[in-house]
Amino acid sequence: MPHDPLTDETVWGVPGAIIAPPVPGAKACSATPLLDLLRVGASHDPEAIALVSHTASLRYKDMLRLAQTAARAIADRVPPGHTVACLLPRSPESVAALLGCLLSGRICMVLDPSHPAERQAMLLADAAPSALLLAEPPPFPCAAPAIMLRDVLAGPDRAWRADSDWNPNAPLAVYFTSGSSGRPKGIVLSARSVLYRARSNAGYLEIGPGDRVFGPAAPITAAGLSMLLGTLTHGARAVLASTAQEGAGAVLRLIEREQVTHAIIQPSLIRLWLPLERAGSAFRSLRRLRIGSSALPRQELADWRTSLPSGCVIWHAYGSTEALIVANYIVPPDDAGGEATVAAGILEANHDYALLDDDDRPVAFGEPGELVLRSRYVALGEWRDGHLVPGRLPPVPGRPGWRFYRTGDLMRVRPDGMLHMLGRADRQVKIHGVRIEPAEIEAVLRAEPGVTDAAVVADRASSGVTLHGFVAAAGADHGMLIPSLRQRLVTALPMTLRPARLTVLDRLPLLPGGKTDLVALARLAGSGVTT
């Protein structure tokens, strides 16, 4: 009978693995009210710029004022513990208002404004927020009342009280990821988990007053939020921009203008930016670069170093929305090894880890296994039908506040004690640092009239991972169906979840048991079959 790692203490501990020393102050930071931490960041220089974009900026004193005013405006309209969906552009004033939502004690649901309106409407219908914080009216109907950003900013300044009842274990934010059920999944993060990672990020990157930090995901992803808070609570400047909305050239000009010293960038953007003529001057001030990737090619990283400042420290981080950062590795310039990819890194402190086989038994040193962990710093659970439920993060018996999380990632311990990524135990794919569940794309494809079935596979070529969608539609006019499918994908899914190629078949190949033969489809995708 399979072991239950929730109750079997013998599975915990990964022989031979290195655990990183705790970041000083991380535990204390995780239990400190956010407003107090932001005030510490502002105390270095209230006149210093805290948030800057292409067209606007906010000083620390003004950011704190706007955040507190927004917190009071939200608290006046939404009861404690209820949810506020934030659909805001990436501007200094919008980020200050989002900080106010975090301060207010209401649960902040962060939505990506670049996603299609149909997806936004579906998320809001499922999440059932009590209010929406908006910069402009949404292009879809919503039952929840709107709080307009312009009204909040035009209102009188109102200080937010010191949070004597601040509960670090309460839900702070919800971030939506691709879901294996065919619909997006809301991951609920506590203040403790986000602030712990914020302090850890700042510690690893050595962020301090005067530094300028750029991360295109801030604050749209969970990792982006923790990096944003790590920046602002340490007196540094957060540089706000989006390549998808503003273009690579404009973002590089902003990075150059602000003399960015720290950057958190996915490999896909590095591949896009470094060959550009402006990249050398844009990154001339860069001292630390954090790259988040499940499988970072070692040779590619070596090539990137030739375009970066000679003293730039590169930090490779591995994590997820549920656990934010799990392992990290400061990659030395002479990094070498038998693997083609860089190590996932050294395991984070203040967590329990195990590598388990299919029967939930610990694997031998050097053998592959699924990485599982338990901690008080992982997500609280999932948001379903307007409520927090454990989902894939059940509580750990006998450890109040702790949660258990299966990463789904297959790892092994290298001889040097670091973890190395081998792949997935399920169908999940990561592209451009974004989690993708093929089931969500397949559900959209199946909704097209005439389609009887659909399957999406990852095509792993030397140039990177792309998605290939297959649909079964016997007798369909392929010339008409493909454009219709692409239009449906555009209206329902963000760009990252849209397959690069689509193929229509009379029927999908099946295994003897009746399930779709995904291996056969992967071979077909790799053969370069046309759409």
> At 467, which CATH number?
3.30.300.30
Name the band, by pLDDT with cuts 50, 70 and 90, for residue 439: very high
Neighbours of 151 (CB within 10 A): 10
In the prediction, which pLDDT does 529 show? Answer: 61
Q: Residue 23: which residues within 8 A CB-CB, separation 6 or more?
A: 199, 200, 203, 204, 349
In the prediction, which pLDDT does 239 show? Answer: 98
Alpha carbon distance 222, 207 (integer Å): 19
Least confident interval from 61-70, 139-148, 316-325, 440-449: 139-148
Judged against a pLDDT cut of 60, whether residue 531 lies above it is answered with no
**DSSP 8-state class, residue 510:** B
In the prediction, which pLDDT does 463 show? Answer: 60
Name the band, by pLDDT with cuts 50, 70 and 90, for residue 277: confident
Residue 219 lies in a domain: no
In the prediction, which pLDDT does 27 show? Answer: 94
Long-range contacts of 243-252 (CB under 8 A, 24+ apart): 243/216, 243/269, 243/272, 244/114, 244/495, 245/90, 245/114, 246/54, 248/272, 248/273, 248/276, 249/276, 249/278, 250/54, 251/216, 252/276, 252/278, 252/279, 252/282
In the prediction, which pLDDT does 85 show? Answer: 96
Residue 488 lies in a domain: yes
Angle between helices 34-43 and 60-77 (to 10 degrees): 160
Residues 156-182 have a mean pLDDT of 85
Judged against a pLDDT cut of 70, whether residue 2 lies above it is answered with no
Residue 258 lies in a domain: no
Judged against a pLDDT cut of 80, whether residue 340 lies above it is answered with yes
AA identity, residue 397: P
Q: ∠ CA 299-217-385 to the nearest 5 degrees?
A: 125
Residue 341 lies in a domain: no
Q: Residue 345: which residues within 8 A CB-CB, separation 6 or more?
A: 316, 317, 318, 327, 328, 329, 418, 419
Residue 446 lies in a domain: yes
Name the band, by pLDDT with cuts 50, 70 and 90, for residue 1: low
Name the band, by pLDDT with cuts 50, 70 and 90, for residue 503: very high
Structural domain span for residue 506: 437-526
Q: Specify the pTM.
A: 0.93
Q: Which two tokens stand for residue 403?
A: 């949660």
When divided into structural domains, the chain yields a total of 1
Structure confidence by residue, pLDDT tens digits, 279-335: 989 999 999 999 987 778 888 898 899 899 999 999 999 999 999 889 999 999 888
Structure confidence by residue, pLDDT tens digits, 242-265: 887 888 889 999 999 999 999 999
- For residues 4 and 219, the model is more confident at 219
- The β-bridge relationship of strands 324-331 and 346-347 is antiparallel
Residue 269 lies in a domain: no
Residue 458 lies in a domain: yes
Query: Do the beta carbons of residue 222 and residue 321 sit within 8 Å?
Result: yes
Name the band, by pLDDT with cuts 50, 70 and 90, for residue 530: low
Alpha carbon distance 350, 201 (integer Å): 15
